[in-house]
Structure 1
């Protein structure tokens, strides 16, 4: 038994299993993740966040990852994640992109992906808000909304009336407060209610899956709520949340079928308990959260360190963590 095995318990029994990949699989059958992010406006360059999400998606098994970034910084993003391909967002003076341009590029990305992730490093300009609005309006592809994607959403008036996408939102506590504030809700995260209850209430209000990040990350779809007990303080560093965004999107792209989940659950209810059943967004999110936390535990066990983890190192440990969740 390795040191990592000795320090990391087995996956919780209540987690579903991931299917094994078919021998004849190819990149076209393993799902395509598009990541809309990055910004270069106002002299600030946000390049690493979307690249780390793309790296997380590829490490989690996505067949293809597409970086959708402002044209002036796209090549730099592709250098950081050379396994990805790129889609440019044309920019004007100062690195800003027009709202109508952003919406058109998101449409192009939606037409060429299985799951779309929006937000890492995106900023909250008018163009960013337009990109987020178009993504939440889509009914064709599941959406992972993170970071500035959530901050931009909170700036859009009455956004819920336009929210049609099946989605997973992944706020940290600050983004959570911005979102519940924009919706006129109370979300104090512990002063008068638990993190579990706060996450559940937001999921109910949105009608979407919410992943409330932090110590003991909580996942809820408003009906089911699950708290991750795995993890390590080494994960408290820049870029790890961006990796998680890519991992969630990749698990969705590979394992969540484009069909009604209630019918899906009924169809597969009689399968053996140890068999790998198709997933819904709630299960995909919590599997990704657990694998991400397990990767942090493994790094700490292997190094004996409490801090110093790099997000790129975390991404490299995702395949082994997901392998623990495979069906026998």
Structure 2
């Protein structure tokens, strides 16, 4: 991978360290506030999330709690209020975060806000709702039981049921040394298999990790396929790579040269003004590609960018829904 992209991705990792990234959620209608949250546009997201939350959206109530907690880096009274509001509306994710409050920075600071239930009671409530569904084989509930208990057995059951998020985390766990593999090479094979399964399930984070394996193995045809698929999910990292490689900035994986589309895709990333060093990457890459283009090509790239935006999901950093 070229130095320019390596530097960008390192900078992105530093930026994201405070806001973990993971697998995408299953496809569903995403509210404007959550879209902005997923783009790290927190200042813009707050008022919209609050409006959505006050209208009764449990998802927006949960994400407003997440945004408030992440901004302060600990559980504030306002964040807890919205978590509890979402939990009372049935959000298991909110119950899990309330259950984890004992491990929050506020516990160290000894200023955790009073809660309607104890942390143990929130976990019990989450388990009471989730366990029957998990026992009936519901993939998301199996995954949530893992988040409630940290028992990897639940994660593996969810992964085997086809839940892409669980498959991604099985790959990460195996890569980090979890599980038992006596035969050399079996661990690496398991990581690759889980990442492939999660990629086929639509998980962009898994796709990007799987692409790294394919690239190391010299399988450029599959690299080209999965990078395009990942870009089409809206994943900002995939779009940055896909656009650069289409425009041969550089020619890293063998795409036919397409300056107009490459320039168009990189220009889409201008709207990610909350993502740290990404704008330096965008400016440098657009200058590099634009130097090879005519004014007419640059003009036509605007229509290509608008068409992509109209026909694809919003750009996203895909932060972990259950942020730590």
TM-score, length-scaled by structure 1: 0.31
Q: Which has the larger radius of gyration?
A: 2
* Bigger strand share: 1
TM-score, length-scaled by structure 2: 0.31
* Bigger helix share: 2
